[in-house]
């Protein structure tokens, strides 16, 4: 079981085990572009999409329409065509337009930098809002996606039903030094070792400590 007594050791081992794996796309893209608006757009595009597709489509869109004004001028049909590959493109295109409009007119073109205000943006939930805070503004936040939610439950560190619930519990117990980075660590760990279906427990550095809660089959 992982508790606050051994969390430092567990995260240390996880960090070491992911050193040689590819970094999440959003982290790489954000380092390159360094603009919270594009952190937000890439995050909206990444929903239920593979990393490589998100990267390709975000860069394509960025080259075609770099500013908020250019995104708004882009005909909806054309925007849908550009982002088609990411799936759910009808909804994503509409959300991108609405979010951009709200930022441009209600926030004078500046992406808000607080959780409360980010949650006012259409189509932006807690996961996206936290990611914009941590990756776009380097501010405190805990981005809980399916990997973070799943892994902390398997470890027995939380016992929750939804990612939003996990975030609330993590805000109460996870040491603050891990808040900003935990998503990056666990996305890589979840994509390569602690897979959703049949995780590689035999290769896992915390195999002995992990109670594997909810894991039906492992390798």
Binding site for ligand SF4 (CB under 6 A): 154-155, 193-194, 199-201, 204, 206-207, 210, 212, 215, 218
Residue 99 vs 204, nearer CB to ligand SF4: 204
The span from the CA of 94 to the CA of 33, in Å, is 23
CB atoms within 10 A of CB 108: 7
The span from the CA of 76 to the CA of 132, in Å, is 24
Residue 1 vs 64, nearer CB to ligand SF4: 1
Q: What b-and-e string marks burial along 4-15, b requiring 16 or more CB atoms within 10 Å of the CB?
A: eebbeebbebbe
Residue 93 vs 210, nearer CB to ligand SF4: 210
Please state the closest distance from residue 155 (CB atom) to ligand SF4, in A: 6
209 is written with which tokens? Answer: 């400590």
Please state the closest distance from residue 157 (CB atom) to ligand SF4, in A: 10
Residue 6 vs 218, nearer CB to ligand SF4: 218
Pair 114, 150: CB distance under 8 Å = no
The span from the CA of 154 to the CA of 212, in Å, is 5
From the list 201, 194, 188, the residue with the least C-alpha distance to 152 is 194
Please state the closest distance from residue 212 (CB atom) to ligand SF4, in A: 4
Strand locations in the chain (E):
none
Please state the closest distance from residue 214 (CB atom) to ligand SF4, in A: 9
Please state the closest distance from residue 205 (CB atom) to ligand SF4, in A: 8
Residue 36 vs 190, nearer CB to ligand SF4: 190
């Amino acid at each position: 079981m992982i508790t606050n007594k051994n969390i430092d050791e567990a995260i240390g081992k996880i960090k070491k085990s992911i050193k040689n794996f590819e970094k999440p796309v959003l982290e790489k893209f954000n380092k390159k572009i360094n603009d919270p608006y594009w952190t937000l757009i890439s995050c909206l595009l990444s929903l239920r999409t593979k990393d490589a597709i998100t990267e390709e489509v975000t860069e394509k869109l960025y080259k075609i329409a770099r500013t908020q004004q250019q995104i708004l001028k882009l005909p909806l049909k054309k925007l849908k065509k550009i982002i088609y590959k990411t799936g759910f493109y009808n909804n994503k295109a509409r959300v991108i337009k609405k979010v951009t409009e709200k930022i441009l007119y209600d926030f004078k073109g500046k992406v808000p930098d607080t959780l409360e205000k980010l949650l006012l943006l259409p189509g932006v939930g807690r996961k996206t809002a936290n990611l914009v805070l941590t990756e776009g503004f380097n501010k405190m936040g805990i981005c809980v996606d399916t990997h973070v939610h799943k892994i902390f439950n398997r470890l027995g560190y939380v016992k929750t039903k939804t990612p939003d619930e996990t975030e609330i519990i993590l805000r109460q117990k996870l040491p603050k030094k891990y808040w900003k980075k935990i998503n990056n660590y666990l996305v890589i760990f979840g994509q390569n070792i602690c897979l959703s279906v049949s995780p590689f427990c035999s290769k896992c550095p915390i195999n002995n400590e992990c109670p594997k809660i909810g894991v039906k089959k492992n390798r």
